[in-house]
Amino acid sequence: MRSKLPLLSALSVGAFVLACQTYDFEPVEPLAIAQTTKEEVINARQSKPNIMLMVDTSGSMTLPVNPSPACDVEFQGNIVPCGHDAPCNVDVCPTRWTALQSVVPQFLENSGRFVRFALTTYPETRGGTSIPDLCRASTAGALLKTLPEQEDDDSLLAHANEINTLLQGIPNGGAGRPQGGTPTSGSLNFVGGLEGLQDPNRKNFVILLTDGLPNCNERNPYSGADTELCKCTIENNQCQLGYLHRGCLDSDASVTAVRELHEKGIQTIVIGFGAETAVGDGPAVLEAMARAGGFQRTCDAARPCGEGDTCNPTTGLCNRSFFQAGNQAELASALEEISLAVTLKEPCLIRLDGPQRPTDPKLLVVYVEGERTPSSDSTWTLNDDGVLFTGQTCERILASTPESPVKIEVRAIRQR
């Protein structure tokens, strides 16, 4: 059995203090040493992950990405801000929905061969305009695309393209446009009950893309009649009228729904898109949901966390757990980062980000199936992305299966 010596037993500094004597020392910055151990059980032929795209199609998705006087339109004889019942001229004033439609094709093209996608939209209005219709959580009728049956790359890409076609087919205005509230907790509970999304042999994710705060829960313990406890998410005082419970912020139930998904082995990745998710209660609510979802955003100098966020150099994680996108470019960047995180495109590469990397290549040790493996052209090398396995070692990884995986252990020491 290989013994594992504590780090400080190998790197130690001794100091002796003699009694009754006084010495003057220059202040010295102490040597800070940190060790990273990254273990991965690699299965090159592992089952591809399941990802449920849970897309917010509430009425606010038809609002402008960047409101301005140029977005004003004529509606019923008056000049009003566009959105909702007064559709925007998207050539002049792109909406959140058209921005989403612009970035989704590239995301699905990049990830389609490596992921089993499904699509659910919410709310499920069924074309109705009553308050219950506008607040209905997803059911089977909102499951626009189920998980695919085929596993080969071309079939998965074709399946992803069909999802793109469905999203492109939802108009920005008129019949079938995004409409209604944001029944997040109920819709999360629905997707959490889908049997295919609980496959123990795969990684399972929900990508929750929302532009507003969760509401529409008729079982919300808070009521619009109590203005101190109900944080109303509906304008024009509607929480004291028709949206008595449904209009109150539904953060507790939404966080609970995400946590229950995680307990089932389903991670939730949260993307906030739009002004409502960046101000007021928005950041705190989405942060709580993202933390409960279990997905961690890694970062380093080459991959910063984005506008308004910082990278923790000690943990190599973004300080904000959810993705905040204020425009089309930021939404595209968030989706690209997610694509890189959830797909296994290079089995022979173990990525090392930020503080996971050693300060010197000599301070990196690699074990393959418990055996220390020196760096060489036929084993592994350290590059800008991480540890790249080559030659016979890579061939061994590529031949791995779920029944016969390869265990890799990487130990790196950093001196700060």
Asked if 405 and 392 sit in the same domain, the reply is: yes
Asked if 187 and 263 sit in the same domain, the reply is: yes
pLDDT band at 159 (very low <50, low <70, confident <90, very high): very high
pLDDT band at 37 (very low <50, low <70, confident <90, very high): low
pLDDT of residue 344: 64
Segment 135-164 shows an average pLDDT of 95
Asked if 280 and 187 sit in the same domain, the reply is: yes
Q: Is the pLDDT of residue 259 over 90?
A: yes
pLDDT band at 14 (very low <50, low <70, confident <90, very high): very low
Burial pattern 209-222, b for ≥16 Cβ within 10 A else e, equals: bbbbbbbbbeebeb
Pick from 317, 342, 367: which residue ends a domain? 342
Pick from 290, 317, 342: which residue ends a domain? 342
Most confident option among 74-83, 93-102, 230-239, 367-376: 93-102
pLDDT band at 356 (very low <50, low <70, confident <90, very high): confident
Asked if 131 and 171 sit in the same domain, the reply is: yes
- Bigger pLDDT: 246 vs 385: 246
Asked if 34 and 155 sit in the same domain, the reply is: no
pLDDT of residue 298: 87
Q: Is the pLDDT of residue 21 over 60?
A: no
Asked if 264 and 402 sit in the same domain, the reply is: no
Q: Is the pLDDT of residue 69 over 70?
A: yes
Task: Kindly state whether residue 23 falls inside one of the protein's structural domains.
Answer: no
Task: Kindly state whether residue 181 falls inside one of the protein's structural domains.
Answer: yes
Task: Kindly state whether residue 196 falls inside one of the protein's structural domains.
Answer: yes
Task: Kindly state whether residue 243 falls inside one of the protein's structural domains.
Answer: no
Q: Is the pLDDT of residue 22 over 50?
A: no
Confirm if 65 and 328 have CB atoms less than 8 A apart: yes
Task: Kindly state whether residue 21 falls inside one of the protein's structural domains.
Answer: no
Q: What is the dihedral of CA 234, 238, 239, 242, to 10 degrees?
A: -120
Which of 332, 157, 185, 337 shows the shortest CA–CA distance to 252?
185
Asked if 124 and 202 sit in the same domain, the reply is: yes
Where is 111: in which H helix or E strand?
helix 96-111
Domain harbouring 209, CATH code: 3.40.50.410
pLDDT tens-digit series, residues 175-230: 999 999 999 999 999 999 999 999 988 899 999 999 989 999 999 999 999 989 99
pLDDT band at 165 (very low <50, low <70, confident <90, very high): very high
Asked if 155 and 290 sit in the same domain, the reply is: yes
pLDDT of residue 398: 81
pLDDT of residue 45: 53
* Spatial distance between the Cα atoms of 103 and 172, rounded to a whole number of angstroms: 15
Q: Is the pLDDT of residue 8 over 80?
A: no
- Bigger pLDDT: 402 vs 330: 330
Q: How far apart are the first and last CA of the chain?
A: 32
Is the Cα dihedral 172, 178, 180, 182 positive or negative? negative
Q: Can you give the residue range of the structural domain that contains 209?
A: 50-214+250-342
Amino acid at 136: R
Percent residues over pLDDT 90 in the chain: 64
pLDDT of residue 34: 60
Q: How far is CA 74 from CA 64, 70, 80, 87, 171, in A?
A: 15, 12, 6, 10, 20
Task: Kindly state whether residue 231 falls inside one of the protein's structural domains.
Answer: no
Residue 362 makes CB contacts below 8 A (sequence gap 6+) with none
Segment 310-321 shows an average pLDDT of 91
pLDDT of residue 38: 56
Asked if 357 and 323 sit in the same domain, the reply is: no
Asked if 108 and 176 sit in the same domain, the reply is: yes
Task: Kindly state whether residue 5 falls inside one of the protein's structural domains.
Answer: no
Asked if 168 and 266 sit in the same domain, the reply is: yes
Domain count for the chain, please give it: 2
Asked if 199 and 172 sit in the same domain, the reply is: yes
pLDDT of residue 17: 32
Q: Is the pLDDT of residue 172 over 80?
A: yes
Query: Mean pLDDT, the chain, as a whole number?
Result: 86
pLDDT of residue 137: 98
Q: Per DSSP, what are the bridge partners of residue 38?
A: 410
Pick from 298, 322, 342: which residue ends a domain? 342
Task: Kindly state whether residue 354 falls inside one of the protein's structural domains.
Answer: yes
pLDDT band at 39 (very low <50, low <70, confident <90, very high): low
pLDDT of residue 26: 40
